[in-house]
Amino acid sequence: MTRILIVDDVPQNLYMLSVMLKTNGYEVTEAANGIDALELAHSDPPDMIVSDILMPGMDGFNLC
């Protein structure tokens, strides 16, 4: 199963993306900022990352 890490600081966006991806057969992991996402990506690398750009802590540009 393809694993996707979604990163967004807006809970509603995380929820919406998570529901859409899960209903299409993807395994989803969520993070609320770039710092948490980077930690998750290092500990258990996903197949793909979908990230917001403007976030506190570490933005999407720095995450990439």
**What pLDDT sits at residue 63?**
95
Containing 61, the helix (H) or strand (E) segment is: helix 60-63
Cβ–Cβ < 8 Å for 60, 52: yes
Q: Span 43-64, mean pLDDT?
A: 95
Q: What is the pLDDT of residue 23?
A: 98
In whole angstroms, give the CA distance from residue 22 to residue 28: 7
Residue 33 contacts residue 7 (beta carbons within 8 Å): yes
What per-residue confidence (pLDDT) applies to 42? 97
Structure tokens at 63: 């995450």
pTM for this prediction? 0.92
What does the block give as tokens for 11? 């809970």
pLDDT tens digits for 7-53? 999 999 999 999 999 999 999 999 999 999 999 999 999 999 999 99
